[in-house]
Amino acid sequence: MAWRGWAQRGWCCGQAWAAPGAARSCEELPAALVRPRLLGRRFNFFIQQKCGFRKAPRKVERKSDTGTSGEAYKRSALVPPVEETVFYPSPYPIRTLVKPFFFTVGFTGFAFGSAAIWQYESLKSRVQSYFDGIKADWLDSIRPQKEGDFRKEINKWWNNLSDGQRTVTGIIAANVFVFCLWRVPSLQRGMIRYFTSNPASKVLCSPMLLSTFSHFSLFHMAANMYVLWSFSSSIVNILGQEQFMAVYLSAGVISNFVSYVCKVATGRYGPSLGASGAIMTVLAAVCTKIPDGRLAIIFLPMFTFTAGTALKAIIAMDTAGMILGWKFFDHAAHLGGALFGIWYITYGHELIWKNREPLVKIWHEMRTNGPKKGGGSK
């Protein structure tokens, strides 16, 4: 049965069809497909619900895709339901990639520049901390010690962690925080808008970064964070804390840009989220640097294989998934992250990180000469 009349996005067409169990007002209309007849021709419209982010009274199967391929978008269990959200694919898909491209280049440059300055400040801080530590040790030796101090136990646990584990602890905490935000019903619309990446959305750039810290499924987040924790010590030993953060954040944006390109090229629009693209960069970097290392699957630890073999299998699987259109994972983002990790370990470290000295010198001159020019410092 079809409704008589027609609707446009953003307003209602009067009272809904009064069948038993059907929606009876604008607030209860799911974002379902409406097929009215107009002048003897058949048109498809999506109703944009502006009356609140409410759950539909009954499950309605979507029969069309917001993209141009005409193929129904099958939602993965790892992404939130988007039946009540309308996306707007551009009539000129290539233009959609212009802003994300410049954002990717600009953010990557900003990330590595900030990491170089961070390393400079960190080295200065370590020198000062060394002398402060000598003084603190002397004071602790003459100060009475407190028994059962909770803060002392936390410091002891923290100091027992490796540099890599301490580095990724903040990343894991951010992912857990965003996962909790997904559980707040009133935030669902904003979370889909800013914490899922989709080239058919009106917000294109900021979700490329924010979605890297976003997980809707507990299993998805737990698996990603476990892999990140497992490889944290190796990747930080290879790159260092500052360089690792630059690579990780850049990888999240780059992998999402590759996902954008694939979605625009195939017309298979849909939301993506998760840290998998950035974690694939970490995994690929470690496997490229240590190809003979032994790895195992999380749930099958008895089967081991070399890191080089694992990397080849992952690339082959994600390539097949991208070509065949598998929808459970964002295989384009996985593949983009893996290729970026291989490239960075092979060439990027020499081209980017080892050429940071001019920027560090400029920052050093600003730190040492800047206040003196103002005349306000001693």
The catalytic residue positions are: 276, 334
Relative to beta strand 37-38, strand 45-46 is unpaired
244: left (phi over 0), alpha (psi -120 to 50) or beta: alpha
49: left (phi over 0), alpha (psi -120 to 50) or beta: beta
Q: Do the Cβ atoms of 244 and 236 come closer than 8 Å?
A: yes
Q: How far apart are CA 3 and CA 173, in angstroms?
A: 48
How many residues does the structure list for the chain?
378
Answer positive or negative: Cα dihedral of 123, 127, 132, 136. Answer: positive
Largest CA distance in the chain: 93
